[in-house]
Amino acid sequence: MSVEKKAVAKKPAPLRKPRQKKLPKPKWDVSDLDTWGPDRHELGATIPEAGNSVYNETGGWRTFVPELDPEKCDGCMLCYFYCPDASIIVEDGKAVAVDLAHCKGCGICAKECPTGAIVMKLDEKE
Ligand code: SF4
Ligand code: SF4
């Protein structure tokens, strides 16, 4: 008697939606900022916890704003690597826009761009 092996089709694993990472509660309470004095600040900068740009939109600090022309971009990615605020938005290997909620307007991207695709302009605030 021959034993026939049946090919058992494996059920594909159900597609799971990636679980949205829950943002941790900020450890730094800024609600009493008016009462803060030099005794509570280190000289230089205070970085109370890593990754806090999720809570703080630093775009309002800007005086100059980068203007990006994706047509002139050759995809070298220098702006992306040098931007201290990770504000260069890349699509299909080219810089296409700037995250103005976080860009502080330092101008490094414009200085590094070899094709002149980024120029700094005075940020006209409302
Ligand atoms: S101006 Fe500075 S912060 Fe803004 S995108 Fe360019 S490098 Fe980043
Ligand atoms: S530095 Fe200039 S050419 Fe290079 S990716 Fe950025 S915008 Fe494009």
Task: Please check whether residue 22 lies inside any domain of the structure.
Answer: no
Query: 104 in a domain, yes or no?
Result: yes
Total domain count for the chain?
A: 1
Provide the pLDDT confidence category of residue 30 given band limits of 50, 70 and 90. low
Residues with CB under 6 A from ligand 2: 73-79, 95, 112-113, 115, 117-118
- Whether 62 and 123 have beta carbons less than 8 Å apart is answered as yes
Q: What per-residue confidence (pLDDT) applies to 108?
A: 97
- Ligand 2 atom 1 nearest Cα: 113
Residue type, 46: T
Identify the domain containing residue 99 by its residue range.
Answer: 34-122
- Whether residue 60 has pLDDT greater than 80: yes
Q: What is the mean pLDDT of residues 70-75?
A: 96
Between the CA of 99 and the centroid of ligand 1 the distance, in Å, is 9
Q: Per the domain annotation, does 25 fall within a domain?
A: no
Q: pTM of the entire structure?
A: 0.67
Residue 53 inside a domain? The answer is yes
| Whole-number pLDDT of residue 25 | 66
CA distances from 10 to 6, 13, 118 (A): 12, 9, 52
CA dist., res. 55 & res. 31, Å (int): 13
- Cβ of residue 65 lying under 6 Å from some atom of ligand 1: no
For residue 108, the CA-to-ligand 1 centroid distance in Å is 6
Q: Please report which confidence band the pLDDT of residue 124 belongs to, taking 50, 70 and 90 as the band edges.
A: confident
The CATH number for 88's domain is: 3.30.70.20
